[in-house]
Structures are given as C-alpha cells and as structure tokens.
Chain A
Amino acid sequence: MLELIRQPWHWSTAGILIGLIVPLLLILGNKSFGISANLRHICAACFPADISFFKYDWKKEIWNIFFAVGIILGGFLAVTFLHDPEQVKVAPTLVSDLAQFGIDDYTNQVPNQLFNWHSLLTIKGFLFIVVGGFLVGFGTRYAGGCTSGHAISGLANLQWPSLVATICFMIGGFISSNLIVPFLLKL
C-alpha cells in the first residue's frame, strides 16, 4: 500500500481528491477553496499602509492561513515520508528542448539549476524567482483568484467570470511557456 502511495499518482486520483477539497471546505465551515487571498491577508496583517484594499479584518480569514500553512506541512510530509526515488518523467520533446538550455537535472520537481539561492543573484534567476512571483501575486489578485479560486471552485459553481479568468490564465501561460520562458532560459 505504502509503495503505491509513494509512486507518482495518476491524474484521475489527484483530480478526484483535489475536487473533493471543494465540498470538504464547504462542509467544514462554509469556506470556498482558494489560496491566493492569503497573499492579501498577509499584506493586510503586516503592511496595510492605509490602503483601503488591505483595511479589513484579516483575522476573520485566519482559517485560510491555517489552510496555507497546512499545504507547506503537506509538502514537507510528502517528501519526507512518501518520497519517490524515481525522477520526474516528462515528455521527451521537453527534455531535449530544456537540455539545449543546460537544464537536465530532474532529481527535484523544481529544476535545481534554475531555482537556487545562487541563481537568485543572476539576471536569469532573478527573472524566474522574483519577477515570476511578482506576476503571480499581482495577476491573481487583479483577477480575483488563482487556479483554485477560479479554475476549480469557481468553475465547480458554474461561474462564467471564472471561466473567463481560467481561459485568460491559459492564454497567458501558453504565451509565456512557448515564447517568454525559452527567451529567459537563453539569458
């Protein structure tokens, strides 16, 4: 059994379990599944700077911060107790394309050659780590949610604005992954 859990999970297993988080949070306390609002709660808690967008009682949303801390712990538990020694197996076309840019280390789910403390001080690393993160934080709040808030819980509740948001996430991703990421990798 443990062997089975250690192996990479099939998409249908993961999809069913992630989908079940939607009713789980609703039944546990009428909460809608979403992560990116936590970034706003952190702003409201730590540096509201008299900005009206951050002047609300973030403590009422503390459940969401507990949920976020749980995700970090879950990540830790998964690699500590359910570690799979096999490397991530990805499409051969991606492997050969990335190899041209010197990315060939698949020991981690995050490419070690891009995301490390040393590369943070290079232009390439700065763009991937800092600028990428900025776009995620700015974009999700402007869109009013991320993959969990719009693509999963919004679509699950048949909200058409969430469908618009999800389509735009995908368009942005297609442009970025096919045009911008190869450019950045060349730097």
Chain B
Amino acid sequence: MSKIKSGATANIAETMNTDFEVRSLDSQSVNAGEKDMSFLRNLKFMLAGIFFGIILVKSEVISWFRIQEMFRLESFHMYGVIGTAVVVGVISILLIKKLKIKTIHGDAIEFQDKRFTKGQVIGGLIFGLGWAITGACPGPLLAQLGSGVGVISITILSAVVGTWVYGKFRDKLPN
C-alpha cells in the first residue's frame, strides 16, 4: 500500500517539479493544509502546542543548563526524554499503520519518506553548533519566550533571519 502511495507521489513530483523542490527539503510542509483554515478548526493545534509547551518547561527541556549537561555527557535526563519520545513515536506510528487509524475528520493518515540531502549533514552540524550555544532548539525557544525571558524574542528573530538567508542562498549551497 505504501509503495503505491510513494509511486504516486513521485509521479506528481515529476509533473510539478518546482513545488516538489520547495517542499522536499521541508519536513513539515509535506502534509499540505486543509481547505478549511478557520480559527476554530486550528484551535485544537494551539491546544496541542500548549500541552507541548507545558511539558517542555516542566521537564526542564527548555533549560540551557540541561542542554550543556547532555552535550557534556553529564546527565542522562535529555537522552531519556528524547529516547523515550522516539520509542513512543515508533510504536504509535506502527499502530496507526497497522490498524489503519484515520484522522478525526475520517481521512487516511499519510506518511512521506524523507529524501537524503547533503543539508542533513551540513545543516545538521550547523544547527548542532547553534543548539548548544542557545541551549534550545526551536520548540524550547518558543517556550522560553513564553516563560518570560523576553530577550529570547531576539534569538527567535535571528533564527528567522537565518532561515531567510538560507532561502536566499539555497541554490548556491551543496544539496
């Protein structure tokens, strides 16, 4: 079943090549949005975000100190959090595929394979350097801002600039 699906995606990709290129690098844009963009319909994602934000604060994942501990191999905490999350995620996706669970709107749940690019190595290393300096990846940056550290708004703004600069010079970078 998934084979048929990825074959179909490849066909679409050939006919709509430009769009595919824009989207292929992006892990999040694969599931294009619903036609309905109403506020109420999206509110549930805000609630999911609130839930995630609370977890990030209460488990100290947003702590700069915890990130240093992780990279200095001084604590198991962050490895435990990420490792457990991956295991729970793997089991959840297996169950969704096996039981053919649908969305609450009755649509089939789709998965798209990620394509390997050099960016995952080069960009990955660059992000890693930044992750240890800011002590936060993008989700925790948002939660840090919410927890009252106003100056993190500058870090987030700078991350937006970084993304923009990447978009600007994307064609000149190895991919």
Residue numbers of A with Cβ under 8 A of B are 5, 8-32, 34-40, 42-43, 47, 49, 51-57, 59-64, 66-79, 82, 84, 88, 90-91, 93-94, 98, 106, 108-111, 114-117, 119-120, 127-162, 164-178, 180-181, 184
Closest to B77 in A: A11
Interface membership of B3, Cβ < 8 A:
no
Q: Is the CB of B27 within 8 A of A37?
A: yes
Residues in B whose Cβ lies below 8 Å from that of A149: 27-28
With A67-B48, A70-B50 known as contacts, the answer to whether A36 contacts B133 (CB < 8 A) is no
With A21-B48, A135-B130, A139-B127 known as contacts, the answer to whether A75 contacts B120 (CB < 8 A) is no
Residues in B whose Cβ lies below 8 Å from that of A26: 92-93, 96, 103, 109
- How many residues does chain B have at the interface if contact means C-beta atoms less than 8 Å apart? 131
Determine chain A's interface SS by DSSP, over half rule. helix
Interface centre among B102, B131, B141, B159 (most CB of A within 10 A): B159
Residues in B whose Cβ lies below 8 Å from that of A72: 49, 53, 142-143, 145-146
With A36-B138, A133-B130, A155-B90 known as contacts, the answer to whether A164 contacts B124 (CB < 8 A) is yes
Other contacts beyond A11-B80, A129-B154: 8, CB < 8 A: A9-B60, A15-B81, A15-B85, A26-B92, A82-B54, A98-B65, A141-B123, A164-B116
Residues in A whose Cβ lies below 8 Å from that of B11: none
A128 to B129: give the CA distance in the assembly, Å: 11
**Between-chain CB contacts (< 8 Å), 17 pairs:** A8-B58, A11-B84, A15-B87, A29-B105, A63-B33, A70-B46, A75-B53, A90-B75, A133-B154, A133-B158, A136-B162, A139-B128, A144-B117, A146-B127, A159-B113, A168-B123, A169-B128
A16, A31, A94, A111: the one contacting B74 at CB < 8 Å is A94
Chain B 40-54 per-residue mask, 1 if CB under 8 angstroms from chain A, else 0: 001111111111111
Interface membership of B104, Cβ < 8 A:
yes
Residues in B whose Cβ lies below 8 Å from that of A51: 164, 167-168
With A14-B58, A60-B33 known as contacts, the answer to whether A22 contacts B93 (CB < 8 A) is yes
Q: Is the CB of B151 within 8 A of A19?
A: no
Residues in A whose Cβ lies below 8 Å from that of B72: 91, 93-94, 177-178
